[in-house]
Structure formats: C-alpha cells, structure tokens
Copies of this chain bind each other. A is one copy, B any other.
Amino acid sequence: MSANNLEDGRKRVVIESVQPEVDAGRFAVKRTIGEQVVVEADAFTDGHDAVVCMLRHRKLGTTDWHNTAMAALGNDRWRASFNVTEQGRYEYTVVAWIDHFLSWQRELVRRVQVEDIQIALLTGAELIEHAAQRASGEDAKQLKTWAAQLRDNTDLATRRTLGLDETVLRVMVRHTDLSLATQYPRLLHVVVDRERARFSAWYELFPRSCGSDGQRHGTFDDCIARLPYIAEMGFDVLYLPPIHPIGRIKRKGPNNTLVAGENDPGSPWAIGAAEGGHKSILPALGSQEDFKRLVSAAQQHGMELAMDIAFQCAPDHPYVAEHPEWFRSRPDGSVQYAENPPKKYEDIYPFNFDSAHWQELWQELKSIFDFWVSQGVKVFRVDNPHTKPFGLWEWIISSVKQDHPDVLFLAEAFTRPRVTHRLAKVGFTQSYNYFPWRNTKPQLTEYLIELTKGEGREYFRPNLWPNTPDILTEYLQFGGRPAFMTRLVLAATMGASYGIYGPSFELADNAPREHGSEEYLHSEKYQLRAWNLNQDDSLKDFIARINRIRRENPALQQDWNLQFHTINNHELISYSKTSPDLSDVILVVVNLDPHHNQSGWIELDLPALGIDPQRPYQVHDMLSDARYLWHGPRNFVELNPAESPAHIFRLRRQVRTEHDFDYYF
C-alpha cells in the first residue's frame, strides 16, 4: 500500500465521540423551537500543537454553515451549542484543525532567552505574512504591517507584546488556513418541532358519548358544546378515538362481547363500512364540515385536535373489496383476520405488509395523513404503530413533516423497550410508555431517571398517561379518588407532556370489567356512556389548578431538568424542576399511599436550587395556596391523601433589600 493513495496525511487532527449522536448518526435528535443543542466532541492531535475546534450547523437545505468556536473542557473534550429557531431539520458536525499561530503564541510566551525570542518573532512574521496572502483589503494590509513590525529593529519587548496581542490573534483566526482541517465524518441531524412537541396536556374523549344521556349518539356539535368544559380544565390537545365509519360485520357488543345488538355502535377501531374508510366520517358524528367546525372551535378554545390513526380494517372496509392484494388470504379463500392464537379478532383485518404491492399500500396509508392534514389536523395519535413496519413510519413521518413540519405524531406502542425506542428514532414526536405501571417510589425514580437522563432522551419524548380507554391500572382500581389525584400530579409534574382519558378520569371511574382486568366495565370502546360532569367529587377543579400551575411555571414545561430528592419515607416521593436561570424552582412531594397519612423529612441540595442555605426560604404550595417558611436543607412534610396527596411548592428566595425589608420572589 503506497502512501500516495492516502488522504492528505497532514490532516493531523482527530475528532471522535461527538455527542449527541444516535446510532452513529443514523437518526436525528429532537428539539423544540428555542431550545439549545449542546454538542461535545473529543478533538486532539499528535504532539503539542494548538488545536482549534468548531461546531458547524445549518438548517437543512441552506448552504452556509454557522460556525461556533468550541470551548476546551480539558482532557481533549470540547463543547459548544447552538439554538434552533425554526421548525424542520438542522444538521451539525464538528471541524478541528491545528492553529500554527496560536501554537506559536503559546510557545512565545514561555520563551526566555533573547536569542530564542528574536528567532521566534521572525517565525511569527512568516506566519502572519502567509495569512496576509490569504486575506484581502484592510486585513491584508494590517497583517503585512504587523509582520513588518515583528521583523523591525525596535525594542524586543514591544515586538514580543505585539506577537502575543489578542487582536493579532483575532485577525489571524479570520484567515486561518483550513485546507488541512479535519471534519467529523458524519453530518448529524436535529428535528425541530414546535413547543407542543415538548409541552402538552392531552384530553381523550369519545365524541359519541357527548350526547347528554348516554342513549343518543353524540355528534361533533355535542363535542363543540363540551369544549368550554375541557378548556377550563386547561388542556391544549383534544384527542378523539377514530371518527370513521365502523364496520358492521363481526361488530363487537358491549364489554367486548362477540355479538352486537342492533343499536350497539361497535368499536371505533373497527374502521370502515359501506359509508367509507379512513378518509370518511361516521355519519352519526356529523359531516366533514361539522368536523372542520370542531377543529376551529377547539382552536378558539386554545386547543388543537388530535386524530387517531389506526391502520386496520373492518371486514366491510372498502379497501377489502377494492384491494384484496393488501390483505393476507387464508387457504379457504377468506381474508385473514387479526389473531393471537387462540384469541381471534374477527372484526379486524390487518394489512399484509409483506404484500408484493407494499408500495401502493404505503402510498395509500400516507395519503390518509395527507388528507387529514388538509382538513386542518396537525396532531396524530397512532394506534399500535409497532405492528406496522418501522420503515413505513420513517417514510410517512419524514415525508409529511417535509411539507408540514408542524405535524406531530404520538406513538401508542405499549410493547418491548427496543421496539418502543425504535419507533421514536424513526420519527414519532412523542411516545406512550410504561408510566401507567410505575407506581412505587423505586419504580418511578428509576424509570423517570431513565427517561430524563438516559441516552434515549435525545429522541424519545415521553407522554405520561395515568389511564387510557385500554388501561385502568390496579392502582386506580383500588386507590379510589386519592389514587387518581396522585397519578395526575405525578404525570403532570414529572412529565412536560401528559394526558388523561376523560371524563372517566376526572370522575374517578374505576370499575374493571372483571377482577384482574385492566379493561373498564361498560367500556366506551363498545358502547355509549353517560357521564355526570357536575358530580360533587369531580376532579375537574383540581385538574384545572394543576394545568394552570404547569402553564405558569416554565420549570414544569421540560423533562430533562427533573431531580429527585431524598425523603425518609418509602411512600413519599420528592423531586424538583428548575428553569435554567433558577428563577422558577418547583419542588413536588407526593404521597404514593392513597389510603394513609404519610410524613417524613425531605433533604434538599439548596445551592443546586439557588437557595442560600444560611437564609430562610418560603415554600408556596400552589395546590393549597399554603405558604411555609423553611430553614436549611432538612424539612418536615406530611400529606393526608383524603385532603391532598401532594404539595407542588414554588420555592421563593428571601431577598434583603437595601431598606432591610425582606420579600420573596
């Protein structure tokens, strides 16, 4: 092997271990508008030359790089950051090189002998002359002047001072020879979403139950009438289960029974009937026009509508007749229904993604998103994405976002960790996760640390749901109303994004279909339900207060800032969230025991919270409005679940004014 075939061997700087980087750059990291991307890299060279390291970034599709000097952290590690200000994709990488002038300055400052300094000044003059050749205009002139001054016969100390001058360095840096710079071999990507991708409060509602009495099928107009109620609770995403025509063949009856009565509405996830499929609306709900009115009425209430996308068909979905090639056929000629032997789901036909006609199928599925985007929908909750190819999602999401970067996708994949993470990597904006089943203090602590500090946080944005129409956890079944409050506080304060399925949730509906099941009794998935929204013990005011606290406190609008605190009671969990400038410091204490009073001593790292340990500080419980004056890191808390299972404190530092008048801010 001859050295003649090699890349230029004078590119002597090495760049390694750039972070963040997902799967060697195969996938993008995620941010929202206004956030920072903090980039670190190892960069070094052989020998003792000075290395300069630079972060480059640009919006994808633009040509010019923005360059940011990286700061040396020691041990050959460098760091810089950039802000993302627009939706869409950015790319970034790292460039580093040897700066011979900087190397020269660093040596000059250590030279002692007159003879050495004299020779060094001539070397410096040469370096500046070379830079002058690369420069033009004023800079070229200035550099030539400096070079001449370094060479002239004036006082050595003066010339040495000029050689070490910061201004000279700054001009030299402008004309650095980058022909031998090393660029990190990969361009890494950031997908930037609007703020709602990071900070959102979801409310799931079956529109058909919005009829007043549970007998009449609710309509979009009934939904519109319900909007003030939901908006007053403070939600910003209203998510509806599928609104399409529902299959009649093998339709399920109440409580998932196999035979439906004549008036049973069926499951909205059994999509498609004579009236149409994924681009149609169930006539009982209203028309496309009614739907568009709902979309804009929600907007007027500060909410946006999220649609459910479930890629599966009822036997009478038009696709089944029109595109038999998209389904698997059984040896008896019938279409293969969904099954998990010995269980059968004969009301549902899955698509066959191994079909030779997969490309047409993918195009059609993507067109469903395109259609609803054209109807004003910008948020999609995707049903069971883990039973469709990862490649399909990567293609659909990137294609849709290319034209509509404001579209958000929530993955409903309650499955194994690697699968869940892969879906997030291929593009889902937010992800359901294991939060519903993390109930004890060690479980919550370990899991939330994984979500907020683990490597996955770069691409996996959790959305925390205490319940869904499929998930009525044991904790909620047995914990009563306090359990609902506890889980709500945890979801809404641990997670910047969370959601509830209502009115089931605020009415603390907790009867399971049978013992040991997480299914609801009389589940809305299979029948209409009447809800008494004015029930005395409704949690609606409590929810409204929590959502207001979330909106008023930027600390609660992000995930990565979560910190747990020691508290000497296994039933009490405590954590804080802070804004980067520590102007907003939130401390939460939750009683995980829905049945008993619990108390304990909490220990805080006060300096980390911006509190002077020598001075008292006020903790203001934004739930009860109570205020306490605390001193030092160790304080007592007690929580009675029958009253409120949590404190959501805002910490207020004591400030002594020049008039010796204390106040808290």
Contacts and interface: CB of A to CB of B under 8 A. Distances in A.
Contacts of A292: none
A657 to B, nearest CB: 49
Contacts of A112: 341-342
A75 B416 CA distance: 7
Copies of this chain held together in the complex? 2
Contacts of A2: 363
A580 interface: no
A221 to B, nearest CB: 38
Given A46-B389, A47-B387, A123-B331, A362 B1 contact: no
A330 interface: yes
Interface in A401-435: 402, 416-419, 422
Nearest to A77: B418
Contacts of A48: 340, 387
Contacts of A4: 359
Contacts of A157: none
A293 interface: no
Contact of A362 (B3, B47, B358, B395): B3
Contacts of A11: 391
Contact of A12 (B44, B362, B391, B418): B391
A392 B9 contact: yes
B417 A75 contact: yes
A402 B387 CA distance: 48
Contacts of A107: 339, 341
Max chain B C-beta neighbours (<10 A), residue from A44, A122, A391, A419: A391
Contacts of A363: 2-3
A170 to B, nearest CB: 23
A6 B395 contact: yes
A38 interface: no
A533 B389 CA distance: 74
Nearest to A387: B47
Contact of A331 (B126, B344, B358, B395): B126
A17 B422 CA distance: 12
A656 interface: no
A310 interface: no
Contacts of A16: 23, 418, 422
Contact of A418 (B7, B75, B341): B75
Interface in A104-152: 107-108, 110-113, 116, 119, 122-123, 126
A498 to B, nearest CB: 27
B416 A14 contact: no
A134 to B, nearest CB: 16
B12 A398 contact: no
A289 interface: no
A392 B24 CA distance: 25
A108 B339 CA distance: 12
Given A111-B342, A342-B111, A391 B119 contact: no
A235 to B, nearest CB: 31
Contact of A399 (B1, B331, B402): B1
A42 interface: yes
Given A119-B332, A341-B107, A418-B42, A386 B47 contact: yes
A515 interface: no
Given A112-B342, A417-B75, A353 B386 contact: no
B9 A119 contact: no
Chain A interface bracket (under 10, 10 to 19, 20 to 34, 35 or more): 35 or more
Nearest to A360: B3
Interface string A368-391: 000000000000000000111111
Interface in A1-60: 1-4, 6-7, 9-12, 14, 16-17, 23-26, 42, 44, 46-48
A366 B6 CA distance: 14
B419 A46 contact: yes
Contacts of A111: 341-342
A128 to B, nearest CB: 13
Nearest to A111: B341
Nearest to A11: B391
A560 B419 CA distance: 32
A110 B44 contact: no
Nearest to A362: B3
Contacts of A119: 330-332
A446 interface: no
A662 interface: no
Contacts of A108: 341
Contact of A7 (B180, B342, B391): B391
A1 B402 contact: yes
Contacts of A10: 353-354, 358, 389
Contacts of A180: 354
Contacts of A9: 353, 358-359, 362, 389, 391-392, 395
A48 B416 CA distance: 11
A76 interface: yes
B46 A116 contact: no
A510 B418 CA distance: 57
23 contacts: A1-B395, A9-B362, A9-B392, A12-B353, A12-B354, A17-B23, A24-B25, A44-B416, A44-B422, A46-B386, A46-B387, A46-B390, A48-B340, A75-B417, A75-B418, A76-B416, A76-B418, A76-B419, A108-B341, A110-B341, A119-B331, A122-B331, A126-B331
| Complex A-B, nearest 8 residue pairs according to Cβ-Cβ distance, in ascending order | A122-B331, A24-B24, A110-B341, A3-B362, A76-B418, A112-B342, A3-B359, A47-B387
Given A111-B342, A116-B341, 14 more contacts: A1-B402, A2-B363, A3-B366, A3-B395, A9-B358, A9-B391, A9-B395, A12-B391, A17-B23, A44-B422, A47-B386, A47-B387, A107-B339, A180-B354
